[in-house]
Amino acid sequence: MSCNPNGNEPLELLGALEQWALEYDCPCIDLEDDRQFVAMWGFCLIAALIFCTIVSCPFFPRCLRCCCCRRSRKPQAGGDPEAQRPNSKPRLEGAWEEEDGEDQAEPSIPKAEQHLKRTSATKDGEWRPIWSTALGDMAEIGGTGTELYFRLLRNLGIVFAYMSALTCASIAFNAVSNFAPDNGNALTKTTVGNIGATVQGTNIEPDQRYIILKDFDGKCSGTAVNKMTSILGWLDFSSIALFFVCILVFRFYIVPRVAKQSDDDQITPKDFAVEIDNLPRRFPGMEQADSFGSTAYERQLSELLCQRIRVQQTRERARAGAEAGDAPAVKVEELVLVRDFKGKLRKKKALADLKRELDIAQYIKDEKQVAKLSKRIEKMEKKVNEKLESEDALDVVRAYAILSTPKDAERLIIDYRFSVYGLLRRISQCLGNCGLFECCCPQRQRMFHGRALRIRRAPEPTNIIWENQDVPHVERKVRHALVMFAFLIIVLLSFTLVYLANAAAKSQTKSTTQLLGNDACDPEIGKINPDNTEYLCYVDTALNWTMSFVETATADEKACYCGAIGYANIARSTALINGVCRDWLIAVATGIGIGVCATGIVVVINVVAKMVLIQLSYAEKPLSYSALNAAQMVKIFALQTLNTGFVIFCVNFSPPDWFPLGSLIFLGEFSDSVRGWYVVVGAAIMSNMLANAVTPAASNVCVMIANKFQRWCCSKRQKHQLQLRQLYTNPEFDMAARFAQLLNTVFVTLAYSSGMPLLNAFACMYMFFTFWADKVVLLWGSRRPPAYDTQIPKQAADIMLYAIPLHCFFAVWMMGQPCTFPSNPLGGTLQSLANQGISSAGSTSNFAASDGVLDRGMKESTWMVFALLVLLVAVYILWTVLWILGGTLGEFFKAMFTLCCSRAKRIAPESHVEVQTWAMVKADIARDFPPASYMMEEHPMYKEAAQFMRTRTSFNERKNEKKAAMAPSDSAKTGDGGPDNATAQASNKDANQDAETARDVAADKAPSEARQED
């Protein structure tokens, strides 16, 4: 009964209040006193603040010690003089130098442990601490992409914590209610399908139910559900707006800022290097080598690069009024030509691996293995060397050049700034080759054997995939198209298999759908009972049955009764467990077991499909590990998201009649988000996401522990040092799989969090556990990753922007359901606009009129997310149109703008005492950020097999270094001694400049706009 009746309450409400008072053991229900609800909001606010603090503080372990995680670049009084030099970058403190003796065959565990530390993310030969290693240090370990991955985890963890705080009131009000059927899963009680108290045996409509709260004094208060839904709708809108802002800030502010700051703070080979494309593949006499092993191609290309740098130096000094004679000497410190191995470089590496295994077999005197490997090597050598010329005679694909100073690299990029556009490059090449006009002379001076070069900032050496460098651009595009077609087929096939596995499990599980007798609250009767042979279970009828009737009832009636009273009541009664509900409990347990088996089948399908998709990504032949991981990320993400978040939805979905082939594809009974949908679909999704919050982090840590245990057990059994080194090599830090799992968590969470707000807390748990687990695994259990650039985090942020309209769509679908989440319609001007839209849609769209999309979107709880959905759809359509135009006409307009309106960046001329040369920093880079070379044999993936590949370039490089160390003045005296000697003739000051510049540092960074992706 009501504590403050006014005589205007309908009889149905009075009867419901009386039942609620009996159920909650209250003398009456107060419908006007809101103090308990205010106390509930306050309690939720305090709990939310505590939760946010607990989650956020561990993400900032150094916030109390310093305001910024990065080292200050300001000079300090009395310290290392090198650290106080102006315009200098701080030295990195990463990996440490290799020691000799690693080619020995005798197993040595100390040497293997040293190898483990050299190939891992160590600092001065010691393992980095977990707690005090800042996010800025991640860029030193694995490039900007690795740092941005951890920053994204941290930011999303904090954002989802605040999203949980905003929606915690919804969780609280759902948890104290009992509208959803009791299926024994406590997670179902936290969904909006459970909001409000149910009333059995009365004529009150389900959409007119109340939320009842009881305080410690035994007093009960109640408020209508439709008064709370508008507030909960605004809280949900606030949470998705917070996520939207976070992704925008990350994509357009944090990524560029971190990339620039990391670029400023680190000295890497990329600072001194350029990538040269559109080279002539061959010309007569290009393979002729001098006494130092340098070919004519290398010498002539080095001379051209040095000439163009001197031209820029002359212009700079002329503008600044400096004397031309004071310009520092120009050198090409290293020039690496990428040869066309006809796609056989991967086979050469495999051949080197076989030779390494043969070396091991010969040492341990395994005659069987020696004979087997010898045959395989002989057969593979015939295939590799078939129709393949000597390396010097192979066609040239591109080149990587390391220059003396970072400003020299910047000068080349500025001089060839128009070459990044294919249109301008072709025009320049035509004008340069015609030779008819005087204005063409500058273009001819930039050309190399009739080719207009394209010069850009080079990637980091560890980010290059060497075996894909000789794949032509057109072939990569064709491969990409074919791989995408195969990807769609594999995803569709895996989705079908997972769907069939879940559908088969559902068909073997006999469940009784509980009906309220209200069309808005129940599934479609035609889907449940298409041929009028199935038993229909009405809850009100079942609850009125006596025990004597149930004991003599049919099996369907007993199942209906047991499902209606719920698991909680059955668990409290031994008579029900051993009596009328025994068979029903056995059937439910059987269904759970079948579901577990189906889940195991789904896991196997996902693992196999994931392995196939990874191999497909390799077939695209990307040029960098960043591009490879980005391709793998998209494919794995699509597979996991479909099979994790949407298969169970499709299995239980009942499409509208107008949907083509809907009755053949979808066999479910839920066409709407009714309360039974949350029991079947919602409970499964929430259980999966709860497991997802812990499982990835735990599995990664367990793998790391297993690897350490394997070394402890098997290290003394190895008979060759190479075997021991392989055992003491940590696995790769799989960036693609981690980003894919992150995207999967974000998409599934945002898709269903409007109706299941507890998913925000699960996503926060995932970010928190994964952040610390991956930090531990990276620092203590992974091989040092390549220097990833910003491509992967940029693409991940772009993909996450599409999760926002997905959230809005499902929010309108869930929070606009008239029975589960009742809400008042809009009033005033907004309502008149909604009516106009509905009437207009009714005359033009059967879908909008029949399904009530606009009607659902124009409620107090949904209009704001519906407006955001419409806005985002319009923005994405415009974005897509601009993307299409940018891929066609955009190149032309950019080229014209660059040609007509842009001005080259002016570089201040430097003196000898302001130059930081490659010779000064090479040793530091080799120690701190290896490798300090673009040689293929110095790449971490090829270093192990380098001694078995025996290429001419690596041999002569070592010979040149040895000669330079023994006779440093010989190269200056020789007129044809390779790239350095070709440039040494231009100046007689080369021998003294290194000594003059050994104390000085000045290195400006190249503009970010000069960096463009292939």
Q: What is the pLDDT of residues 401-421, one digit of tens each?
A: 999 888 889 888 888 887 777
Alpha carbons 26 and 217: distance in angstroms, whole number: 10
Give the model's confidence band at 2: pLDDT under 50 very low, under 70 low, under 90 confident, else very high. low
* Token representation of residue 192: 């909006």
Note the pLDDT tens digit of each residue in 728-739. Answer: 889 999 999 999
* Res 254: pLDDT: 92
Q: 623 and 649 in contact (C-beta within 8 Å)?
A: no
pLDDT band (50, 70, 90) for residue 292: confident
Confidence of residue 913 (pLDDT cuts 50, 70, 90): very low
Alpha-carbon gap, residue 27 to 7, rounded angstroms? 18
CA distance 134 to 62: 8
Give CA–CA dist 746/803, Å, rounded.
Answer: 8
Percent of the chain residues past pLDDT 70, beyond the cut: 76
Check if the beta carbon of residue 859 is closer than 8 Å to that of residue 823: yes
Q: Of 385 and 298, which is predicted with more confidence?
A: 298
Residues counted in the chain = 1014
Is the pLDDT score of 362 beyond 80?
yes
Per-residue pLDDT tens digits for 672-705: 888 888 988 888 898 889 988 999 999 999 999 9
Does 931 sit behind a cis peptide bond, omega within 30 degrees of 0 on the bond before it? yes
Token couple for 773: 């687990």
How do residues 542-586 score in pLDDT, each as one tens digit?
888 888 888 888 888 888 888 888 888 888 888 888 888 888 888
Separation between Cα atoms, residue 632 and residue 645, nearest integer Å: 19
Q: Above 70 in pLDDT, residue 91?
A: no
Which pairs with CB-CB distance under 8 Å and at least 24 residues apart come from 44-48? 44/168, 44/169, 44/172, 45/165, 47/168, 48/164, 48/165, 48/166, 48/168
Which band of pLDDT confidence, cut at 50, 70 and 90, is reported for residue 763? Answer: very high
Tell me the average pLDDT across 35-39.
79
> Is the model's pTM score more than 0.85?
no
Please give the pLDDT value at position 215.
77
Q: pLDDT class for 594, splitting at 50, 70, 90?
A: confident
* Nearest alpha-carbon partner for 468 in 619, 614, 677: 619
Note the pLDDT of residue 441: 56
Q: How far apart are CA 286 and CA 676, in angstroms?
A: 76
Of the listed ranges 540-554, 646-660, 909-923, 959-973, the least confidently predicted one is 959-973
**Phi and psi for 451 in degrees, rounded to 5?**
-115, 130
Residue 293 DSSP SS3: coil
Residue whose C-alpha is closest to residue 377's, from 360, 356, 391: 356
Judged against a pLDDT cut of 50, whether residue 323 lies above it is answered with yes
Least confident piece of the model among 102-111, 375-384, 887-896: 887-896
Residue 354 one-letter amino acid? L
pLDDT at 733: 92
Residue entry with tokens 């350490």:
708
Region 867-871: mean pLDDT is 92
Is residue 963 over pLDDT 70?
no
CA distance 458 to 188: 54
> H or E element: which one contains 898?
helix 891-900
Identify which has the larger pLDDT, 282 or 953.
282
Compare 973 and 425 and report the one with higher pLDDT. 425
Query: Given a cut of 90, is residue 868 above it in pLDDT?
Result: yes
Percent of the chain at pLDDT exceeding 90: 17
Q: Which residue has the higher pLDDT, 217 or 189?
A: 189
Separation CA 316–CA 411 (nearest Å): 10
Name every residue whose Cβ is closer than 8 Å to that of residue 146 and which is 6 or more positions away in sequence: 138, 139, 733, 735, 778, 785, 788
In the predicted model, what is the mean pLDDT of residues 489-513? 79
Residue of higher predicted confidence among 962 and 748: 748
Concatenated DSSP letters of 231-253: HHHHHHHHHHHHHHHHHHHIIII
Token pair, residue 951, equals 């290429």
| Cα(401)–Cα(337) distance, integer angstroms | 9
Q: How distant, in Å, are the alpha carbons of 811, 953, 954 from that of 935?
A: 54, 8, 7
User: What is d(CA 559, CA 54) in angstroms, rounded to the nearest whole number?
Assistant: 45
Average pLDDT over residues 137-146: 88
In this predicted structure, which of 349-358, 591-600, 813-822, 823-832 has the lowest mean pLDDT? 823-832
Average pLDDT of 662-670?
73
Phi/psi at 605 (nearest 5 deg)? -60, -45
Quote the distance between the C-alpha of residue 443 and its chain's center.
43
- The confidence score (pLDDT) of residue 776 equals 93
Close Cβ partners of 810 (under 8 Å, ≥ 6 residues apart) = 751, 752, 754, 755
Q: Which residues contact 552 (CB under 8 A, 6 or more apart)?
A: none
CA distances from residue 979 to 292, 416, 915 in whole angstroms, order as listed = 10, 21, 21
Query: Whole-angstrom Cα distance, residue 877 to residue 870?
Result: 11
Q: What is the pLDDT of residue 1006?
A: 35
Q: How far apart are CA 222 and CA 216, in angstroms?
A: 15
pLDDT over 70 at 134, yes or no? yes
Average pLDDT taken over every residue of the chain: 77
Spatial separation of the C-alpha atoms in residues 154 and 764, rounded to whole Å: 10
Asked if residue 973 has pLDDT above 60, the reply is no
Report in angstroms the alpha-carbon separations of 519 from 208, 662, 819, 820.
15, 21, 9, 12
CB 564 within 8 A of CB 539: yes
Confidence at residue 833, expressed as pLDDT on a 0 to 100 scale: 56
Residue 667 has pLDDT above 60, yes or no: yes
**pLDDT above 90 for 440:** no
Residue 11 belongs to what H/E stretch? helix 11-23
Buried b (16+ CB within 10 A) or exposed e, 324-335: eeebbbbbbbbb
Lowest mean pLDDT among 179-188, 537-546, 909-918, 930-939: 909-918
Which residues touch 755 (CB under 8 Å, ≥6 apart)? 191, 192, 193, 673, 678, 682, 810, 814, 815, 820, 821
Please list the alpha-helical segments (H only) found in 753-857.
758-781, 791-800, 803-815, 828-844, 846-851, 853-857
User: Could you tell me where the DSSP H helices lie in 364-472?
Assistant: 367-385, 406-415, 422-434, 441-446
Q: Compute the distance between CA of residue 957 and CA of residue 939 in angstroms, rounded to an integer.
A: 14
Which comes out higher in pLDDT, residue 743 or 606? 743
CA 60 from centre of chain: 22
Question: Is residue 847 over pLDDT 80?
Answer: no
What phi-psi label fits residue 181: left (phi over 0), alpha (psi between -120 and 50 degrees) or beta?
beta
Contact 329, 359 (CB under 8 A): no
pLDDT at 262 over 70: yes
Give 825's Cβ-side CA count (13 Å radius): 13
The pLDDT value recorded for residue 521 is 82
The span from the CA of 426 to the CA of 421, in Å, is: 9
- pLDDT band, residue 985 (cuts 50/70/90): very low
- The reported pLDDT for the residue numbered 972 is 36
Is pLDDT at 669 greater than 90 in this prediction?
A: no
Residue 707: pLDDT over 50: yes
Cα 399 to its chain centre, rounded Å, is 31
- The pLDDT assigned to 428 comes to 65
pLDDT at 71 over 60: no
Residue 77's pLDDT is: 37
Among 31-40, 383-392, 904-913, which range has the highest average pLDDT? 31-40
Looking at residue 775, what is its pLDDT?
93
Phi and psi torsions of 20, nearest 5°? -65, -40
> How far is C-alpha 929 from the geometric centre of its chain's CA atoms?
24
- At 910 the pLDDT is 58
Instruction: Show the tokens assigned to 127.
Output: 């393992």
Contact 226, 207 (CB under 8 A): yes
Please state, in angstroms and rounded to a whole number, the distance separating the CA atoms of residues 908 and 410. 12
Asked if residues 895 and 420 have their Cβ atoms less than 8 Å apart, the reply is no
Task: Provide the pLDDT confidence category of residue 809 given band limits of 50, 70 and 90.
Answer: very high
Q: What angle do CA 50, 51, 55 make, to 5 degrees?
A: 115
Q: Which residues contact 705 (CB under 8 A, 6 or more apart)?
A: none
Q: Give the distance between the most distant pair of CA atoms in the chain.
A: 112
Is residue 621 left, alpha or beta, with left meaning phi > 0 and alpha meaning psi from -120 to 50? left
Alpha helices in 653-802, H assignment, sequence order: 662-665, 675-677, 683-714, 721-727, 735-752, 758-781, 791-800
Cβ neighbours, 10 Å, residue 592 = 12
Least confident piece of the model among 34-43, 235-244, 848-857, 993-1002: 993-1002
Distance CA 388, CA 370 (A): 27
Q: C-alpha angle 859/861/862, rounded to 5°? A: 70
Q: Tell me which of 196 and 208 has the higher pLDDT.
A: 196
Q: How far apart, in whole angstroms, are the C-alpha atoms of residue 827 and residue 817?
A: 18
Q: Are 338 and 400 in contact (CB under 8 A)?
A: yes
What is the separation, in whole angstroms, between the first and last Cα of the chain? 74
